[in-house]
Amino acid sequence: MGFHRREFLKISGTAALAGALASLGFDLSPVRSYAQALNIRAARETTTICPYCAVGCGLIVHTDQKTGQVLNTEGDSDHPINEGSLCAKGAALYQVAVNPARVTEVLYRAPYSDRWETKSWDWALDRIAARVKESREASFVRQNEKGQQVNRTEGIAHVGSAALDNEECWLLQGMMRALGLVYIEHQARI
Ligand code: SF4
């Protein structure tokens, strides 16, 4: 079997690299790969949109029929934007729902304090409601300078986070508009 110069250099270069890696302790012997076992045969399938950026890739979410727990997320091959593919960020979306590192308690840092205090959800919701009411009443505008009825509050803005999906954004829009907010954004547009 004869080699051209280019093929010889390619083969000898590959052999030299393999030898160098082996001498550094890398194991270059073939390994077996296994498909990940996913128990999603009886799961419920729901489609949604990736919340992370404005590309808007489609996903399928598999949830347990009984508990509603998220079992798996993956690209939706029927979606016209991404046709099943996802970037690394979208492919890791499962971790938004299932993540042992997630903070599950309310942590509050008082003004000028240097430490976090753990509070109850009832405490946090009552406090948020009181502060929203106070700001809304202080900044509510019934008419603009032309005398037109506008009924809006200019003292509160809302920025949706990267962990909000399409459906949660829809609910938040309704609630924020009902309060009279006009400064409403989502991180995917920023
Ligand atoms: S999968 Fe990646 S590219 Fe697609 S919407 Fe999510 S972050 Fe954007």
The residue ranges of DSSP E strands in 145-186, in sequence order, are 149-160, 181-186
Write the CATH number for 92: 2.20.25.90
The last residue of one of the domains, among 34, 62, 97, is 97
Strand pairing of 181-186 and 149-160?
Answer: parallel
Q: Are residues 87 and 117 in the same domain?
A: no
pLDDT (tens digit, 9 = 90+) per residue, 95-142?
988 999 989 999 999 999 999 999 999 999 999 999 999 999 999 999
Q: Are residues 185 and 131 in the same domain?
A: yes
Q: How many structural domains are present in the chain?
A: 2
pTM of the model: 0.64
Q: Are residues 165 and 111 in the same domain?
A: yes
The DSSP output letter for 27 is -
Intervals of the chain under pLDDT 50: none
Answer whether residue 14 is part of any domain: no
Q: Which of 49, 89, 94 to mutate to test the pocket of ligand 1 (most atoms within 8 A of CB)?
A: 89
Q: How far is the CA of 57 from the centre of ligand 1 (A)?
A: 6
Answer whether residue 156 is part of any domain: yes
Provide the domain limits for residue 137: 106-189
**Ligand 1 pocket, residue 131 CB under 6 Å:** no
CA torsion sign for 173, 174, 176, 182 is: positive
